[in-house]
């Protein structure tokens, strides 16, 4: 595969994953996509160990230092979901 072919393939993959707008062919680097995938898993599951395994980090502290910079709104949402789930039990 040529460099141009690999570039096109990369953006088609990101488009299918809804990470870039249709037709976008610049600006979304692999590291950003990797970070986004890790953050989406953490947001959906709250499972930091799953993110660590997905990304291949040797240390959970590497994962935590990178992915636990939640803002106040995310923290509030997570807490409300946790307490709502406990109320249902």
Kindly report the three-state secondary structure assignment for every residue of 23-69. Answer: CCCCCCCHHHHHHHHHHHHHHHHCCHHHHHHHHCCCCHHHHHHHHCC
Give the pLDDT confidence score for residue 52 in this predicted structure: 94
Task: Determine the pLDDT at residue 34.
Answer: 83
pLDDT (0 to 100) of residue 49: 94
pLDDT at residue 17 in the model: 84
Q: What is the mean pLDDT of each run of 10 residues along the chain (89 residues)?
A: 86 86 83 83 88 93 82 76 75
């Amino acid at each position: 595969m040529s460099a141009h072919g690999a570039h096109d393939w990369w953006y088609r993959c990101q488009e299918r994953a809804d990470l870039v707008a249709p037709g976008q062919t610049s600006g979304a680097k692999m590291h950003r996509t990797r970070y986004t995938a890790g953050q989406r898993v953490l947001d959906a599951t709250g499972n930091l160990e799953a993110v660590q395994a997905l990304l291949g980090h040797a240390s959970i502290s590497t994962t935590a230092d990178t992915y636990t910079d939640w803002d106040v709104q995310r923290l509030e949402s997570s807490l409300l979901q946790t307490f709502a789930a406990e109320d249902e039990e």
